[in-house]
Amino acid sequence: MNKITIFNTFKMPKLALLLLTITLMSTSAHSNQKPLTSVQIKSLMDETFNVMQRNYIQPEIVPDLVKLFTSKLKLGQYSYLQSVDEFAEVVGRDLRIVTGDSHLSLFTVKPDEEITHILSHQNGKLTYNFAFEEIKYLYGNIGYLKFNKFHSDERATDVVDAAFNFLKQSDGIILDLRDTIGGSPWLVQYMLGYFFSKETPLWDVLGINDKLVESISVTEEVQHHDFENEFPVWILTSHNSASATELFAGVMQASSKAVIVGDVTAGAGFYVGVRQITDELVFRISLSKPVITANQKNWEKTGIIPDLKVPSLDALSYAHALSLKINLTK
């Protein structure tokens, strides 16, 4: 990957104009507040990129980032920043824009606060019942399951088991991942055990310079195996389907275990972790990438391309119609 890869989405002049516009808007909003000193801002910037150079999955792009952000510093585009919190918000946002890596962010922590890459959510559809929202049977004996996150809590497997036991008598399943924002690769691995036999290779995890970190296969013994072999599965996707969601959908598609129906997914294809920059500032950063065993592909910035590309709002109707056609041929 050459050094200009980070500017695939924006040509350099347009990118600079965009970031300048955003910065000027933010400047006016904080014009009455006392900023950090220029020395403090430069120190935070230097430490941020030092951590990024040592840890980011694509270290080759960091020198170009340093040049760009150094230019912004010299132009005074960050001179309005009042606090480390604002530095985290603004610089983290700009890093996402420039790199196209939606996982990148900066955040602050209090002394002795536990640092984790796992995002917390207010109570709602991303927390209730470990983010499993709806399960039912549709006309034609087709199962339907909607969940909104691959939850990292180990108790989420109990909900998975209950859902797949309920759908055991179906003639096919529609998995609605249109609002599934991502989550835990561990739960992805567990759920795939319902569709693949034990010890089936699923994906490899590659680090910097594509060094193999780990190989992932089916390891858990699930409660039944009725969904293996030729069992019909349709997966609904949208532009919001991201990260671990794309991993699940990509493995299923690459192994011809499911038909993907909907929009191209978000294109968030890296594993994320955290690295401390200062006592107060933390980097949520992409450290490695999964590569699907069946097709040797990663989906960063490209997303998972549906087999049937339709507007996500119509995906359920299309998938259900497909399921009825299959049932009629039996």
d(CA 90, CA 105): 10
pLDDT at 329 (0 to 100): 58
**Helix, strand, coil % over all residues of the chain, rounded to 5:** 40, 20, 40
Greater confidence, 1 or 302? 302
Q: In the chain, what percentage of residues exceed pLDDT 90?
A: 82
Can you spell out the DSSP letters for 291-307?
EETTTTB--TTT-PPPS
Predicted structure pTM score: 0.87
d(CA 247, CA 6): 23
> Tokens at residue 33, please?
């507040």
Angle of the 62-74 helix axis to the 12-29 helix axis, nearest 10: 50
pLDDT at 326 (0 to 100): 76
Residue 41: alpha-carbon gap to chain centroid: 29
Q: 117 falls in which pLDDT band (50, 70, 90)? A: confident
Mean pLDDT of 131-154: 96
> Tokens at residue 141, please?
């004996």
The neighbour count for residue 13, using CB atoms within 10 Å, is 8
- Reported as type and span, the H/E element at residue 72 is helix 62-74
Mean pLDDT of 198-208: 97
Q: Phi then psi for 65, rounded to 5 degrees? A: -65, -40
Mean pLDDT of 134-151: 97
For the cut 70, the answer to whether the pLDDT of residue 12 exceeds it is no
For the cut 60, the answer to whether the pLDDT of residue 261 exceeds it is yes
For the cut 60, the answer to whether the pLDDT of residue 147 exceeds it is yes
For the cut 70, the answer to whether the pLDDT of residue 27 exceeds it is no
**Mean pLDDT over each residue of the chain, to the nearest integer:** 90
pLDDT at 31 (0 to 100): 43
Q: Indicate the burial class of 19 (C-beta count within 10 angstroms; 0-12, 13-18, 19 or more).
A: buried
pLDDT at 32 (0 to 100): 46
Sign of CA dihedral 257, 260, 264, 265: negative
Q: Can you list the domains of the chain with their CATH numbers?
A: 3-100 (no CATH), 128-270+287-324 (3.90.226.10)
User: Which 3-state string (H, E, C) describes 8-35?
Assistant: CCCCHHHHHHHHHHHHHHHHHHCCCCCC
Note the pLDDT tens digit of each residue in 98-114. 999 999 999 999 888 88
- Integer angstrom CA distances of residue 172 from 110, 140, 249, 328: 49, 9, 16, 13
Mean pLDDT of 184-193: 97
